[in-house]
Structure 1
């Protein structure tokens, strides 16, 4: 079989090439044809020399047969203004042979058989080489064991021979030889006994370890059950405590610098946080998102940030465990665009009755022209956020339309339908935790003047997270 496979592969290759390049070629006999002879009848039928006249006509015209494509003959023969009768022509039809194209089907079949034959041959070769290697390994093992046994046998035979010679020469007595053999047997027996005991000792240590592990596991399960019961009890007791934590934080927000922070947390109005690099923009956005989550039960739905890999362990550290959808990770603007499309899709089904959600749109500074919907982000965000119950936070370096995705004609809507928080930095690019807030309105809906604000020391993501996780904020301090 192994010898036949290469021949089969070669035959398949040659046959497929022949089928593709020779057997399947179309020739002139592939089409239906007709042969036509023009044999006009003499008009002198009633004259005595009619036979001679017809013979002359036949010699002149009817000796020649012309070959045409049947299709051409059928389409052209009746186009004459005065067509000749059928009796004037002698016609023979020849069917074309189109079977040559069928041979083309053999090409892939023969090529496939060639491939399979060669692959089978290679597999047989591999199996043969592997078997030879295994046989060689077994041979070396057997040879090594045999050589070692032979050496031991020869050593024993030589020692016995020397002992016999020494007894004959009187160098040692038979009793001494027998005594040595007895001692060697005793050492061998004791070695065997010691080895068996060592195995038993190891087994006992293993059994002891297994028993200790089972005991420790049982004790751990008991302790875990107690802890779970304590945790359940503590959680049940903490429900009122959590309400107290929420109330204390809300009071602090309402009483801090006129309550501007509470307006940002409670309101549907989109928030645009802008400022230079290092002004604490992303951390402030994360802190506000956490406040919305804990105080108005808003789910952090999505984070669109092309620098997510750098921010996930810093500014977004306490938002990531809430499992928001991440878009733009790895400087992927197409993914950022998918975040916008997802927001559009959910806006089609969400209403004010749905649970509030928070979406964060970071790095809008460089979004212009990076994806098709860059200029549509701001118009969508500030349009009817109340109807879809979505709280949006946008982050940029500047408040210009170019730095907000390249939106156009949005100056007035941005001014009237957003909060704009401008955070400041030191000359060294470090956060001052101060800034200017625009967008606050009075009871009549009129926009108030720019407010200089400062960020409280407890407006930090880690501190807000700790407030609800065992480290309540001491606002008096």
Structure 2
């Protein structure tokens, strides 16, 4: 006996319903898989983001720690050299004068000391005064990244006046931060009509005002006599400045030998006058710059 039309229709509807349910189940399964995949991708993405954020947040701390280690290693090397006189000299707020004949390496030593003060004592180089700033001395001076440079006679004359005015202003403001000024070949400036008056005032005031204004001073000169500086300032020069003499055996090659002429004292407070010392081999401007820019000095093998 065959099925009636109603029974056939019922079976057909039943089969269609089952097909629909199966299709929906498959779609739901695929959707569940896609959702799971999306969640997994999201989780992976969040982990990667977290890694990047952690790396980014920890980078300054890592750099900060590394910079501190570089500073500490250099300061330790300074303190360990001989009796620590070089560390005392660099940290001292008195104006520092490097004197010596041609070829004794005065400019290079000035640059090295300025860079140590910059990186270790947070004292950027604010002003550089040198008639040869972009000439023979440029290889050293470019490492300092000075804010202001004076090279021409007109620039130098104005820079000398600006410096004396700035010192007075800094003394009034009592700044908490330090900065530096460097002047090369001061003797020659006295012989230039447009600079002579400013140079005389500059020299007299630098004996006291640089220290009070928290401005590290480095001067480079062949001599430090009345003729090469300012007459009538002998006692002030002796008590208010540090004088370090450099040497060369042939007028071209600097020697490690130096002489503390005056301005420093020993651990008992006794004046060091014409005392022989040496500079470490690593005390070169480029070495100090590289130490803080990707090529640390290995003090154990220097």
TM-score band w.r.t. shorter chain: 0.7 to 0.9
Among candidates 220, 234, 244, match of residue 411 of structure 1: 234
TM-fit CA distance, 1:354: 2.9
Structure 2 partner of 1:247: 72
Distance 1:363 1:296 in 2: 26
Contact 2:168 2:209 in 1 (8 A): no
Higher relative contact order (CA 8 A, sep 6+): 2
The answer to whether 1:451 aligns with 2:275 is yes
The answer to whether 1:356 aligns with 2:181 is no
TM-fit CA distance, 1:443: 5.3
TM-fit CA distance, 1:460: 1.0
Among candidates 317, 322, 328, match of residue 142 of structure 2: 317
Distance 2:184 2:126 in 1: 14
1:442–1:231 Cα change, 3 Å: same
1:234–1:463 Cα change, 3 Å: farther
Distance 1:232 1:450 in 2: 52
Query: Alpha-carbon deviations, 1:204-263, whole Å to 9, x = none?
Result: xxxxxxxxxxxxxxxxxxxxxxx9x97875443121121111111111111112112111
TM-fit CA distance, 1:416: 1.4
Equivalent residues, number: 245
TM-fit CA distance, 1:297: 0.2
Structure 2 partner of 1:388: 213
Structure 1 partner of 2:284: 460
Aligned-partner SS, 2:70: helix
Aligned-partner SS, 1:348: helix
Give the alignment of 1:103-252 within 5 angstroms. Answer: 233-252=58-77
With normalisation by structure 1, the TM-score equals 0.48
Among candidates 178, 188, 193, match of residue 366 of structure 1: 188
Query: Alpha-carbon deviations, 1:319-371, whole Å to 9, x = none?
Result: 13xx42011x2xx2221121111112212221443310110011112122312
Among candidates 259, 264, 268, match of residue 440 of structure 1: 264
The answer to whether 1:284 aligns with 2:284 is no
Contact 1:368 1:402 in 2 (8 A): no
Contact 2:244 2:258 in 1 (8 A): yes
Contact 2:104 2:251 in 1 (8 A): no
Distance 2:164 2:200 in 1: 14
The structure with the larger Rg is 1
The answer to whether 1:347 aligns with 2:167 is yes
Structure 2 partner of 1:166: none
Query: Alpha-carbon deviations, 1:59-111, whole Å to 9, x = none?
Result: xxxxxxxxxxxxxxxxxxxxxxxxxxxxxxxxxxxxxxxxxxxxxxxxxxxxx
Contact 1:375 1:408 in 2 (8 A): no
TM-fit CA distance, 1:446: 3.9
Among candidates 259, 279, 283, match of residue 84 of structure 2: 259
Contact 1:279 1:433 in 2 (8 A): no
Gaps of 5+ in 1: 1-226
1:452–1:443 Cα change, 3 Å: closer
With normalisation by structure 2, the TM-score equals 0.75
Aligned-partner SS, 2:300: coil
Structure 2 partner of 1:57: none
Structure 1 partner of 2:129: 304
Distance 1:414 1:428 in 2: 27
Distance 1:378 1:291 in 2: 24
Across the aligned residues of Structure 1 and Structure 2, the Cα RMSD in angstroms comes to: 2.3
Gaps of 5+ in 2: 1-51
Contact 1:286 1:316 in 2 (8 A): yes
1:413–1:434 Cα change, 3 Å: same
